Structure 1
């Protein structure tokens, strides 16, 4: 495995919550676990640091970066703007096939009871909606934002109350998309992101 392979593995572990904010990245341990030498691990850590996902702390070394309160607020503000815009554009531009795909993902999410599965389907729902918006500049902006989203911490969808509320919020967005009502789709997506933000802030206060 070369440096890029090690990077992709560690990136996936951050995305999937195997590596959490604050977790230390020890080169020797990671090299042994990934079955590679320390050189590709070192390269991967440098790349993750360039992405803003890893920080070097005095006397501690490399660790998955933990966002502070202001960063979390700013991240959700931008997410509401970008994903709200994506929903508005998708309501206008989505084809019947794309709407069927979004609806199928939403149907699977409606039946999900496990937090990890709900997290995976939630990502698929938002990705499919972004694709349906058909705006390359918006897509690039969301791609940059999504890396920061990886280090928010464990998904709030692991909480049963939040999961059930998110299912209803997704259904409301989908109904607006099907009606080709851009204003309603944007408003409902913004409401969904703001509800997610409130759940995240509750989690942060519990942790701290």
Structure 2
């Protein structure tokens, strides 16, 4: 099947999300077309779409992967905490036994990934997405998709910090236990606390990077 515009968009977005292209990297149509085996027209349209979504920005005539300043990072985490907390609250009310079983399975599988930060980071995204879906609110899921798209602009994962994978699993356990208990208040708080901890670690990483620079 011939690649579509959506294919090109998702390929570039995934490359940003996985760190192939980092904030400040220049994206060139011809290079992207060659890398992904897609013609330049859908690549061009995908780049325009990413620029509209503020994932790319202009540096003269070039398009580069955008970066988040301190204010934008803070704003993103405030919104993320509120929306993720709401998703957990709704999941505690609306999740099915099958969805709870999937969350439990994820927790068990993720225990084997504590020594692999990259795999743990991918698993973390899957875990959060499952909670979004378990909220059974399509408009909330759409907004969280936008938030997580912006998270792709973070150059590193907080899960890479020593000890963070184990802490993440403990926090995920509290979230799932609250959802299983049908306790919306506890689920909301557990997920907000989880996001708050990730944000604190992110700020420490950024401060260390500034000091090192």
TM-score (norm 2): 0.91
Secondary structure of the corresponding residue to residue 147 of structure 2 = helix
Counterpart position of 1:44: 46
Distance 1:96 1:2 in 2: 37
CA contact (8 A) 1:51 1:147 kept: no
Task: Name 1:69's counterpart in structure 2.
Answer: 70
Residue in structure 1 matched with residue 102 of structure 2 by the alignment: 101
Which piece of structure 1 moves more, 120-129 or 1-10?
1-10
Cα displacement string for residues 136-192 of structure 1 (whole angstroms, at most 9, x for unaligned residues): 221121122121111122211122322121111111111111211111111111100
Deviation at 1:71, TM superposition (A): 0.5
3-state secondary structure, aligned to 1:152: coil
Q: 1:137 to 1:30 in 2, by over 3 A?
A: closer
**What is the CA–CA distance in structure 2 between the aligned matches of 1:192 and 1:54, rounded to whole Å?**
28
Match of 1:124 in 2: 126
Alignment partner, residue 90 of structure 2: 89
- 121-130 vs 139-148, greater mean Cα deviation: 139-148
Q: Secondary structure at the match of 2:163?
A: helix
Indicate the SS of the match to 2:63.
Answer: strand
Q: Displacement, 1:39?
A: 3.1
Do the aligned partners of 1:21 and 1:65 also contact (CA within 8 Å) in 2? yes
User: Distance between the aligned counterparts of 2:137 and 2:106, measured in 1?
Assistant: 21
Distance in 2, Cα, partners of 1:94 & 1:118: 24
Alignment-derived partner of residue 111 in structure 2: 110
Alignment match of 1:149 (pick from 143, 151, 155):
151
Cα displacement (A) at 1:37: 4.0
- Determine the C-alpha separation between the residues in 2 that align with 1:91 and 1:2: 38
- Give the conservation status (yes or no) of the 8 Å contact 1:23–1:64: yes
TM-score (normalizing by structure 1): 0.93
